[in-house]
Amino acid sequence: MADNTAPELKPTLGLTGLTMNAMALIAPGAFLWLTFLVQATEGNTAPAMWMGIVFALLLCLATAVCYAEMAKIYPGTGSSYYFAEQAFLNHEKHWKWARLSKFVVGWGSHLYYWIYPGVMVGTMGILCGYLAGTLWPSFMNAGNPGTIFMMLVAIVFAFAIAYIAHRGVNGSTSVNIAINVIQITALVVFSVLALGYRMNHPPGTEAWQFDSTSGDAYKYEFATTKTMVDGKLTDTIVRDKDGVPQPKMENGKPVPFHVSYPAADEKGNFVSHPDAASVVGVHNFGWVIVQATVAILILVGFESVTAMGGEAKNPRRDVPIAVITSLLVQGAFCYLFEYFAANYFLNSGYPMQSATGSAAPIGDMMIVVGNALLGPGNGRTFMLIEAFTVFLALIGTTLSCINTGARVTYAMGKDQEVPEHFGFLHSQNLTPHRAIWTLAVISAVVGCITVSMVFGDASAPTDATIKTLPQGFLSSFGYSTHDAMAKMPNSLLTITLASNFGTFLLYMLSCFTCMVAFKPNMPTFNFVKHRIIPIFGLAANLGCMAFYLVGPFLGFGTKMEPFLALGIALCWAIYGGIYFVSSSKASGRTTLIKTRGVGIA
If asked whether residues 82 and 110 sit together in one domain, one would say yes
Neighbours of 416 (CB within 10 A): 13
Could you give the number of structural domains in the chain? 2
Burial annotation 34-49 (CB, 10 A radius, 16+ → b, else e): bbbbbbbbbbbbbbbb
List the one residue out of 335, 339, 366, 356 whose CA is nearest residue 279.
339
If asked whether residues 513 and 572 sit together in one domain, one would say yes
Q: 170 CB contacts (<8 Å, ≥6 apart)?
A: 12
For helices 28-40 and 49-73, the axis angle rounded to 10 degrees is 130
Q: Does residue 3 belong to any structural domain of this protein? A: no
Q: What is the mean pLDDT of residues 164-180?
A: 68
If asked whether residues 569 and 529 sit together in one domain, one would say yes
Q: Is 216 helix (H, G, I), strand (E, B) or coil?
A: strand
If asked whether residues 245 and 387 sit together in one domain, one would say no
pLDDT in tens, 516-527: 999 888 888 999
Residue 369 has pLDDT above 60, yes or no: yes
Strand ranges for 212-323 from DSSP E: 216-218, 224-229, 232-237, 249-250, 253-254
- Alpha carbon distance 345, 341 (integer Å): 6
- Alpha carbon distance 296, 277 (integer Å): 23
Q: What is the mean pLDDT of residues 207-231?
A: 85
Residue 418 — very low, low, confident or very high, per pLDDT cuts 50/70/90? confident
Residue 8 has pLDDT above 70, yes or no: no
If asked whether residues 410 and 535 sit together in one domain, one would say yes
Q: Does residue 358 belong to any structural domain of this protein? A: no
If asked whether residues 173 and 229 sit together in one domain, one would say no
Q: What is the mean pLDDT of residues 467-479?
A: 90
Q: What is the mean pLDDT of residues 430-438?
A: 81
- For residues 45 and 282, the answer to whether their CB atoms sit within 8 Å is no
Neighbours of 524 (CB within 10 A): 11
Task: Please give the pLDDT value at position 410.
Answer: 82
Residue 148 has pLDDT above 90, yes or no: yes
Residue 83 — very low, low, confident or very high, per pLDDT cuts 50/70/90? confident
If asked whether residues 301 and 234 sit together in one domain, one would say no
Residue 378 has pLDDT above 80, yes or no: yes
pLDDT in tens, 480-500: 998 899 899 999 999 999 999
If asked whether residues 396 and 498 sit together in one domain, one would say yes
For β-strands 216-218 and 224-229, DSSP reports them as: unpaired
Task: Please give the pLDDT value at position 12.
Answer: 66
* Parent domain of 495: 15-208+286-343+369-587
Main-chain dihedrals φ then ψ at residue 268, nearest 5 degrees: 90, 5
Enter the DSSP assignment of 417.
S
- For residues 552 and 563, the answer to whether their CB atoms sit within 8 Å is yes
Q: Does residue 259 belong to any structural domain of this protein? A: no
Q: Does residue 445 belong to any structural domain of this protein? A: yes
Q: Is 16 helix (H, G, I), strand (E, B) or coil?
A: helix
- Alpha carbon distance 120, 450 (integer Å): 9
Task: Please give the pLDDT value at position 4.
Answer: 47
Q: How far is CA 21 from the centre of its chain?
A: 16
- Alpha carbon distance 95, 51 (integer Å): 41
If asked whether residues 233 and 127 sit together in one domain, one would say no
Residue 89 has pLDDT above 90, yes or no: no
Q: Does residue 480 belong to any structural domain of this protein? A: yes
If asked whether residues 249 and 383 sit together in one domain, one would say no
Task: Please give the pLDDT value at position 568.
Answer: 94
- Alpha carbon distance 367, 210 (integer Å): 8
Q: Does residue 595 belong to any structural domain of this protein? A: no
Task: Please give the pLDDT value at position 600.
Answer: 47
- DSSP conformation letters of 479-503: ---HHHHHTS--HHHHHHHHHHHHH
If asked whether residues 231 and 174 sit together in one domain, one would say no
Residue 175 — very low, low, confident or very high, per pLDDT cuts 50/70/90? low
Enter the DSSP assignment of 328.
I
The number of C-alpha atoms within 13 Å of 35 and in the hemisphere containing its C-beta is 29
If asked whether residues 33 and 75 sit together in one domain, one would say yes
- Alpha carbon distance 24, 257 (integer Å): 40
List the one residue out of 561, 444, 566, 552 whose CA is nearest residue 493.
561
Residue 300 — very low, low, confident or very high, per pLDDT cuts 50/70/90? confident
Percent of the chain with pLDDT over 70: 91
List the CATH number of the domain containing 311. 1.20.1740.10
Mean pLDDT across the chain = 86
Which residue blocks in 346-432 are alpha helix, DSSP H? 352-356, 361-374, 378-414
- Alpha carbon distance 457, 476 (integer Å): 18
Task: Please give the pLDDT value at position 402.
Answer: 84
Q: What is the mean pLDDT of residues 36-45?
A: 85
HEC profile of 56-95: HHHHHHHHHHHHHHHHHHCCCCCCHHHHHHHHHHCCCCCH
Residue 9 has pLDDT above 60, yes or no: no
Residue 400 has pLDDT above 50, yes or no: yes
Q: Does residue 1 belong to any structural domain of this protein? A: no
Q: Does residue 119 belong to any structural domain of this protein? A: yes
Burial annotation 221-233 (CB, 10 A radius, 16+ → b, else e): bbbeeeeebeeee
